[in-house]
C-alpha cells in the first residue's frame, strides 16, 4: 500500500507569488520520488494557479492537490463556502475534513459526516482528522476517539472505506513547542482505530484503509513512526512550509517504503 504524505499549508503563505515559489521549491526538493503519494493542500485561492504549475511539470514526482475544507451542499446561498465540485474543478483530488482547528470553531461530527459523503460523491479523497484533547489515566480518550469515528462515518457505505484516509492527530501534540505522540502510542491507536472500523462495518478487511499520523511531524521523527508506529503516511503542518524539511520527510519515507 502506497504511503501518502500530505502538506497542510493552513493560512500560508501571504501572497500568490510566495505560494508559487513554495510550491516550485517543494517539487524540486522531492525530485526523484516515485513510491510515495504527495498531496499539497494550499489555501483555496492558490489552487487554480498551482494546478497550472503542476500541469506544466511532466517529471516525477506526480504530486496532487487538496483542499483544506469543503461544504456539504453543491450550490446555494452559503456565503464563503466551497463545494466539493468546485474543488474538483480546479484540480483538487483530496480534501481535509474535521481538522482540529475547525472543530475548535464549532465543527462537529455530524457536519464532518456530511462533508465526507459530499467529498466522495465529488470524486475527492477525504482526509478525515480525528484526535483527542488529552490523554487521561482512565483511558476515556479511547471512547472519545470511538465516538468520533462512529459518528463521522455514520451511514457511510462499506465500499467508501477504501476511499477514505484516517488522520490521527492528537490535539495535545499540535502546535509550536508541543511534543508529538510516540511511535508506540500511534501504533496502539492505529490498532484501536482498525478495531473500531472492523466492528462498525462488520468486516475484517481493513488492510487497505490508510491511517496516517499528524501532530508535530518533522524529519527527525518520521522514521520512528514508520518503523515502529507502522504509519501509512503523515499529515504535515509547519514543516511543510519548509521545502528542505518537507523534502527530507518525503525522502526518508521513500527509502523506508516496502
Q: Report yes or no: 94 and 124 within 8 Å, Cβ to Cβ.
A: yes
With b for 16 or more beta-carbon neighbours within 10 A and e for fewer, the 124-138 pattern comes to bbbbbbbbbeeeeee
User: Residue 199, Cβ neighbours under 10 Å: how many?
Assistant: 12
CA–CA distance, 227 with 250 (Å, rounded to integer): 15
Identify the residue whose cell numbers are 519548509: 242
What is the C-alpha R_g of the chain? 17
Whether 99 is catalytic is yes
Helix residue ranges per DSSP H, 46-168? 47-55, 84-89, 100-103, 109-121, 140-152
Q: Helices 16-29 and 243-256 sit at what angle, rounded to 10 degrees?
A: 30
Q: What angle do CA 243, 99, 101 make, to 5 degrees?
A: 90
Q: Is residue 73 annotated as a catalytic residue, yes or no?
A: no
Catalytic residue among 132, 169, 219, 248: 169
**Active-site hit among 20, 81, 85, 99:** 99
Q: What's the rounded Cα separation, in Å, for the pair 232 and 1?
A: 8
Tell me which residues are annotated as active site.
Answer: 99, 169
Amino acid at each position: 500500500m502506497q504511503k501518502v504524505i500530505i502538506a497542510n499549508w493552513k493560512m500560508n503563505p501571504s501572497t500568490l507569488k510566495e505560494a508559487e515559489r513554495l510550491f516550485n521549491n517543494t517539487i524540486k526538493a522531492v525530485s526523484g520520488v516515485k513510491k510515495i503519494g504527495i498531496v499539497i493542500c494550499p489555501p483555496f485561492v492558490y489552487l487554480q494557479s498551482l494546478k497550472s504549475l503542476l500541469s506544466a511539470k511532466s517529471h516525477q514526482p506526480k504530486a496532487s492537490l487538496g483542499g483544506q475544507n469543503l461544504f456539504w451542499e453543491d450550490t446555494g446561498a452559503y456565503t464563503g463556502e466551497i463545494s466539493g465540485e468546485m474543488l474538483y474543478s480546479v484540480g483538487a483530488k483530496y480534501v481535509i475534513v474535521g481538522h482540529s482547528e475547525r472543530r475548535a470553531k464549532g465543527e462537529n461530527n455530524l457536519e464532518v459526516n456530511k462533508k465526507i459523503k459530499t467529498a466522495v460523491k465529488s470524486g475527492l479523497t477525504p482526509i478525515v482528522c480525528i484526535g483527542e484533547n488529552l490523554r487521561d489515566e482512565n483511558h476515556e480518550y479511547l471512547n472519545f476517539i470511538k465516538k468520533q469515528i462512529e459518528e463521522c462515518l455514520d451511514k457511510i457505505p462499506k465500499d467508501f472505506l477504501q476511499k477514505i484516509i484516517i488522520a490521527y492527530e492528537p490535539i495535545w501534540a499540535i502546535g509550536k513547542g508541543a511534543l508529538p505522540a510516540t511511535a508506540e502510542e500511534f501504533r496502539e491507536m492505529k490498532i484501536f482505530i482498525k478495531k473500531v472500523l472492523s466492528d462498525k462495518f462488520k468486516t475484517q478487511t481493513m488492510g487497505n484503509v490508510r491511517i496516517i499520523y499528524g501532530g508535530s511531524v518533522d524529519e527527525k521523527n518520521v522514521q520512528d513512526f514508520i518503523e515502529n508506529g507502522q504509519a501509512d503516511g503523515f499529515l504535515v503542518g509547519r514543516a511543510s512550509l519548509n521545502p528542505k524539511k518537507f523534502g527530507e520527510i518525503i525522502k526518508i519515507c521513500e527509502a523506508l517504503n516496502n
